[in-house]
Structure 1
């Protein structure tokens, strides 16, 4: 029995088969209800309906359609994202992420929207069941001037990474500044709550002091046994001892950290929570200037912009953090103000990012050593992150790079001073 969407009152197909069964008639009615297709036009043929893999939630389709009449800007190559995956309970648990993504799809149709996103054609969601569907124009990586897709934590394959991260940060900041300027429809932006802890995928682990100590001990042993997987500076006994002490401080001050992030009013704005390079596409305009669009807006909400900046940079090479972190913080602040929002204080933003990084690191990434050992029990001291078994597996490659960034930032920051300054 199909559910009816909360926004448009149409049946919401939960699976690729349900969408195919609805056929051209459903797509016509859906596109017209969303305002993406004229009343005198219709979908006359589904030329392609091909399921693809990828992402951490839901199922996906490549959809090619034909219309009765051509219309300016009306694309035939589309992308379909379902919130549900009934065959995979782990993926299906992420179905609630689409609730905000559907509202964002309506917002993105606002004239003069400040950044490029895949043009939405239909979106609706049924909150009680977590069933939703999003249909957008398809991003044609490697064609029509669009650069090929860059995968997470493979920045060595990206030309001029600093330039790409600058335009990525600029896009996130421009949306934040435009929302804070009041130029976007308030009735839509008000639908995004300020609930910082909800901007995450999955349930965070509860870290008791004993559990935290066990994970830190595993990390220390991992550093000793596998020196090729982490940089030397973060494997030093002095740093690991400091990390143990400060990690417990972070857990004890968790409520104060969230309060500081929430109460920084000039730093709260609508943001993409995970604007990593694999959720972006890049092209150059007629003058050769690099541009960027953002996709995959699950968990979009109003949040402390430090959370969004960490989400955009957490998978970057450690050298980018070492050489460009402060410049990228200032760029974000300048671009948010240029878009009409308040200008965040760069020093405060930097501190917020480090505190948020520490929370995310100990909550989500301290199990990386155990995860890698479980998947690769024959690791030895000579194994590096470029081992094909790690480099070719995003589920190992990306967490390892993010953990490396956490440890490197932690080593170069004074978390104790930041924690002591909390009210």
Structure 2
């Protein structure tokens, strides 16, 4: 596809390094090893006595929601232990697709985060950063990191979201590792071990860092509820019986309208306790993780794709990391994982918070965010896969190639089951009684 947009650029001046940085794949190909040498030196990834001598492999990488992505293989003048030759590159811009290009602002906070990860003692494993810079005025950025070698050596294969039932015999150890990593990063932030200016670089925004705002008026919310209930009637085989009963639908309707009416109180609670807010990953689903086992056979995890990273509430963190997990996690192990999060958070320097408070925070986050956003998921499912009404069930093979439909159905079901288990209306009553 030919790029014809008037805002297309080949180079941008990085706000952090001041370098002339390629803005898209072909510009990077042209800049080649010479640019990579100066970039890696400026970022501290290699010393002034080393250089990138050759780009051996330059392969497009599909997927993602933002700009171009590449796999690079390079050679150095002085190969060193721990210096990666197989790299992953992503640009913030997609000059050929305006819809994807609108996501370019996600990289704005990711660049300083990549800088942060190079500090000694960073508490969790992430792909090693070799270069990152961004131009705030245009939203143009470039990040170069270690390439995660999924399925090679000790690194386990990549896992797609909402397919735990096909890719894992026992998902629980994996989600223990994810929750542990999230808690330890939060703890390092609260203990002051990340950087002295962390709160200035990543200020908390109560709008972007908490549950989405509810944009419906009462009539609009009722229309959304009616569409959700109609989906359950039209395709009952896609949902568990307990979340599509008339009694539960009536409860959903009552609770949803009360949640909308008390949204301000809910958001004051969700954003009002700084012990429950920290710098963290907002989308730590299994497809944004990599796993490996050490010589003793113990499982470990690292996290990738840090777009939009910032200070967020614990409800946002836990929902973002667990909402796509196997139903067995939510049905039988959520209490254990929330207790683990609270324990790891305190053990590694965070304030003492109870498992019950973490659970209450997650419950009210899900109530608020769910009314704002998740109730509309049946529309996404039907739009992306209209024939789903003929499926035998939620694990029908027709869902396998259609990620948006499969993911939305799974997360919507998790949401409804937790609503029934936690009784969002009763949780709201407890909050109002506190106030």
The answer to whether the aligner puts 1:112 opposite 2:121 as a matched pair is yes
Deviation of 1:90 (Å): 1.9
Task: Tell me the distance in 1 between the aligned counterparts of 2:214 and 2:360.
Answer: 24
Residue equivalent to 1:329: 338
Where 1:133 maps in the other structure, the secondary structure is: strand
Q: For 1:334-413, what aligned pairs fall within 5 Å after superposition?
A: 334-380=343-389, 383-413=392-422
Q: Which moved more, 1:77-86 or 1:409-418?
A: 409-418
Where 2:386 maps in the other structure, the secondary structure is: coil
Q: TM-score, normalized by length of structure 1?
A: 0.96
Task: Tell me the distance in 2 between the aligned counterparts of 1:399 and 1:296.
Answer: 20
Evaluate the alpha carbon distance shift between residue 348 and residue 33 of structure 1 in structure 2; reply closer, same or farther with a 3 A threshold. Answer: same
Match of 1:56 among 51, 65, 75: 65
- Are the counterparts in 2 of residues 199 and 300 from structure 1 also a CA contact under 8 Å? no
The answer to whether the aligner puts 1:43 opposite 2:41 as a matched pair is no
Residue equivalent to 1:169: 179
Deviation of 1:304 (Å): 1.6
Q: For 1:262-341, what aligned pairs fall within 5 Å after superposition?
A: 262-341=271-350
Task: Tell me the distance in 2 between the aligned counterparts of 1:155 and 1:109.
Answer: 32
Residue equivalent to 2:137: 128
- Are the counterparts in 2 of residues 57 and 92 from structure 1 also a CA contact under 8 Å? yes
Count of aligned residue pairs for this structure pair: 422
Task: Tell me the distance in 2 between the aligned counterparts of 1:18 and 1:159.
Answer: 44
The answer to whether the aligner puts 1:179 opposite 2:200 as a matched pair is no
Deviation of 1:189 (Å): 4.8
Deviation of 1:300 (Å): 1.2
Evaluate the alpha carbon distance shift between residue 59 and residue 253 of structure 1 in structure 2; reply closer, same or farther with a 3 A threshold. Answer: farther
Deviation of 1:392 (Å): 2.0
Deviation of 1:313 (Å): 0.2
Deviation of 1:381 (Å): 5.6
Q: For 1:81-160, what aligned pairs fall within 5 Å after superposition?
A: 81-156=90-165, 157-160=167-170
User: 4+ runs of 1 displaced by more than 4 Å?
Assistant: none
- Are the counterparts in 2 of residues 200 and 299 from structure 1 also a CA contact under 8 Å? no
Deviation of 1:142 (Å): 0.6
Deviation of 1:255 (Å): 2.0
Deviations 1:221-275 (A, max 9, x none): 1111111111111001101111011111112222222211111121121111111
Evaluate the alpha carbon distance shift between residue 42 and residue 189 of structure 1 in structure 2; reply closer, same or farther with a 3 A threshold. Answer: farther
Q: For 1:69-80, what aligned pairs fall within 5 Å after superposition?
A: 69-80=78-89
Deviation of 1:32 (Å): 0.3
Flag structure 2 segments of 5+ consecutive residues without an equivalent. 1-8
Q: Which moved more, 1:263-272 or 1:167-176?
A: 263-272
Where 1:273 maps in the other structure, the secondary structure is: coil
- Are the counterparts in 2 of residues 47 and 65 from structure 1 also a CA contact under 8 Å? yes
Task: Tell me the distance in 1 between the aligned counterparts of 2:40 and 2:53.
Answer: 13
- Are the counterparts in 2 of residues 14 and 82 from structure 1 also a CA contact under 8 Å? yes
RMSD: 1.7
- Are the counterparts in 2 of residues 24 and 46 from structure 1 also a CA contact under 8 Å? yes
Evaluate the alpha carbon distance shift between residue 223 and residue 51 of structure 1 in structure 2; reply closer, same or farther with a 3 A threshold. Answer: same
- Are the counterparts in 2 of residues 3 and 11 from structure 1 also a CA contact under 8 Å? yes
Deviations 1:162-203 (A, max 9, x none): 0100001000000111111112211245311111422489x9
Deviations 1:365-393 (A, max 9, x none): 22222222233334446532222221221
Residue equivalent to 2:205: 195
Task: Tell me the distance in 2 between the aligned counterparts of 1:377 and 1:114.
Answer: 44
Q: TM-score, normalized by length of structure 2?
A: 0.93
Flag structure 1 segments of 5+ consecutive residues without an equivalent. none
Task: Tell me the distance in 2 between the aligned counterparts of 1:58 and 1:372.
Answer: 25
Where 2:207 maps in the other structure, the secondary structure is: helix
- Are the counterparts in 1 of residues 381 and 404 from structure 2 also a CA contact under 8 Å? no
Q: For 1:218-229, what aligned pairs fall within 5 Å after superposition?
A: 218-229=227-238
Deviation of 1:364 (Å): 2.3
Residue equivalent to 2:4: none
Task: Tell me the distance in 2 between the aligned counterparts of 1:208 and 1:383.
Answer: 36
Deviation of 1:138 (Å): 0.4
Task: Tell me the distance in 2 between the aligned counterparts of 1:105 and 1:375.
Answer: 34
- Are the counterparts in 1 of residues 92 and 103 from structure 2 also a CA contact under 8 Å? yes
